[in-house]
Amino acid sequence: MRKIGLLKNIIQEYAWGSRTAIPGLLGQSVPADKPQAELWMGAHPKGPSQVLSDGLWRSLPEVIQESPEETLGKEVAARFSNQLPFLFKVLAAAKPLSIQAHPNKEQAGQGFARENELGIPLDEPHRNYRDDNHKPEIICALTPFWALNSFRKIGETLRLLEEARVPGLAEIVSFLRSHPNRAGLKKFFNHLMTMDSGKQRKIVEQAVNSAEKRTNEEPVWTWMIKLNEEYPGDMGVLSPIFLNLVRLEPQQAMYLPAGELHGYLEGVGIELMANSDNVLRGGLTPKHIDVQELLAVLNFTDGDLNILGPENLAFGEAIYTTEAEEFVLSVMRINKESPFSSARDRSVEMMICTEGNVSVTDLSAGDITRLTRGISIIVPAAVEQYRIEGDGILYKAAVPV
């Protein structure tokens, strides 16, 4: 692939999705008939994009396989076995997603091999590992975005537990108070996750009754009530007590490496991740939860959350710095006075326009592609340099080179 190509993308209709955000972005009728949760831009087998190539709509994985070095770049093609290493999404959560974590690369490889040896089908609901890859990810808010991410400082958790006044947790709270470290946090979380369902429901009921008296104090209590309305009696209802509760403002982001327990609660964002489908759940879901496997991958370090802002890389482009090898996310603010010119040393890139109207010009071929709100493109590495003109905001996914 040697030219910039428009993308036609799959919409995933999960129950927690919004009926307005994605169809509104794409200029479709609102509200949609079904919840639209995620717009996938990429080559993932569960929802590959199509690309307009030589006048025909073709499967993006097929186009990449025909010319991996031209499309991905020689170094990226070699490093990632001729595969696009990331999945780019618009995520629209009207209801909370499951609390979850992702394995690191070694854990994913071992787990995938182990479950293959056991003969567990890839589509089996009780399977934990669906591929051998890790799944670091970044979420960047397009609207105010509520989320849970990683364990709170233990002192904060103890304060909230005391205010929640849950008699059924008195013994394990006492243990955590006397062991305010990783081991104590792990035992505390294990205790919550492994008690019988009847006791879980009773404890959640006690905590929610207390939360209802404190809704004017801080959003932890309001969110516990909301979570119980969606998942009554689920131990994940207590998660705002022991996980950092965060509200991202538009263009703020957070990075999620392996082992961090997290959940998205409400809002619309741009999500970028390694191309994997490995998820270990820990609550707020009717799906399979493997507590022991989850415990094996979790990072039990407590502390404050690191909120990312965009850092200026070049005029008109600012990046979100992470340690990920598979992807880098940036936001591009284009205005009429100052067009953006790309670097020549670059990998494959994907872009989606979220505001305004811009044109992207291939400076070698002279081809012009016009982007309005909701339109996305792929820029293959073979395009030597391009310029963006107009007035708008784009989000860009690329592979670091």
Which residues have a catalytic role annotated? 281
CA-angle at 83, arms to 80 and 87, nearest 5°: 105
d(CA 338, CA 271): 27
- Burial (CB count within 10 angstroms: exposed 0-12, middle 13-18, buried 19+), residue 241: buried
- Long-range contacts of 11-16, Cβ-Cβ distance < 8 Å, separation of 24 or more: 11/36, 11/38, 11/39, 11/40, 12/36, 12/37, 12/38, 12/39, 12/40, 12/47, 13/37, 14/38, 15/95, 16/93, 16/94, 16/95, 16/96, 16/97
CA-angle at 38, arms to 98 and 70, nearest 5°: 125
**Chain mean position to CA 19:** 19
CB 226 within 8 A of CB 16: no
Q: Taking Cα atoms as reference points, which of 257, 260, 245, 264 lies closest to residue 294?
A: 260
Residue 371 phi/psi, 5-degree rounding, is -120, 130
CB 74 within 8 A of CB 117: no
Q: Quick check: helix, strand or coil at residue 317? A: strand
CB 139 within 8 A of CB 249: no
Q: Taking Cα atoms as reference points, which of 371, 364, 367 lies closest to residue 395?
A: 371
Q: What is the DSSP string of 23-36?
A: HHHTT--SS-SS-B
